[in-house]
């Protein structure tokens, strides 16, 4: 994807933000697009939303370095941190599907509206989708993957009253990890 020139976003971004974490993890998190801090560092979720995400996953025994893999739908920062357009999202979904096929997770956590709609190919919004499990069939794999949608950490920073729902959703992730007997090694 580094050599891909089919998006104007590449011209305005500083760095490609591909992924971070353990590429052998059975748990994959997919967000929307890089923000300012991510564009500078080249890593996903390193700003305020990243700190919130770390708190969230740490609370259920996950750690970005040890047992999850994190990426975004769009690998380059949209100008002024705007939401990616439907066209931009549609350009990158095939790359994300291939990325999922390479990582080969058993669980995917979709962070926010853009990721949920893109991967599940739905018009429904995050308020209807969050906390529900879906079976996702990736074109590059011969298995179904458990997918859950949760509120994006940046939304939770702006709307702290929604944290209780995010916590309920995270407890469902923890339960599914236990049901599937996914080894997450050390906690934090």
Per-residue pLDDT tens for 146-164? 999 999 999 999 999 999 9
d(CA 45, CA 52): 9
Structure tokens at 131: 């906390």
Residue-range domains of the chain with CATH = 9-179 (3.40.470.10)
Specify the pLDDT at position 185: 72
Do residues 59 and 48 lie in contact, with contact meaning Cβ atoms separated by under 8 Å? no
Specify the pLDDT at position 113: 97
d(CA 40, CA 130): 30
Question: Could you give the C-alpha distances from 2 to 5, 16, 68, 104, in angstroms and in order?
Answer: 8, 7, 23, 21
Percentage above 90 pLDDT, the chain? 94
Do residues 103 and 142 lie in contact, with contact meaning Cβ atoms separated by under 8 Å? no
Q: What does pLDDT average to over the chain? A: 95
Specify the pLDDT at position 2: 82
Specify the pLDDT at position 186: 52
d(CA 131, CA 36): 28
Per-residue pLDDT tens for 50-94? 999 999 999 999 999 999 999 999 999 999 999 999 999 999 999
Specify the pLDDT at position 9: 94
d(CA 157, CA 111): 13
Per-residue pLDDT tens for 172-187? 999 999 999 999 875 4
How many Cβ atoms are within 10 Å of 137's Cβ, its own excluded?
9
Comparing CA positions, the residue from 49, 4, 63 lying closest to residue 186 is 63
């Amino acid at each position: 994807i580094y050599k891909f020139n089919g998006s104007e976003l590449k011209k305005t971004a500083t760095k490609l933000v591909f992924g971070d974490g353990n590429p052998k993890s059975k748990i994959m998190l997919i967000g929307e697009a890089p923000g300012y801090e991510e564009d500078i560092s080249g890593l996903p979720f390193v700003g305020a939303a990243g700190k919130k995400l770390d708190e969230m996953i740490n609370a259920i025994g996950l750690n970005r370095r040890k047992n999850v893999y994190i990426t975004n739908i769009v690998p380059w920062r949209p100008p002024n941190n705007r939401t990616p357009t439907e066209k931009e999202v549609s350009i990158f979904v095939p790359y994300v599907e291939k990325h999922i096929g390479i990582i080969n997770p058993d669980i995917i956590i979709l962070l926010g509206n853009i990721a949920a709609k893109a991967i599940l190919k739905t018009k429904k919004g995050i308020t209807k989708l969050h906390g529900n499990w879906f079976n996702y069939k990736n074109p590059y794999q011969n298995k179904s993957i458990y997918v859950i949608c949760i509120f994006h950490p940046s939304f939770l920073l702006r709307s702290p009253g929604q944290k209780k729902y995010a916590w309920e959703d995270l407890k469902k992730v923890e339960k599914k990890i236990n049901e599937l007997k996914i080894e997450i090694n050390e906690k934090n």
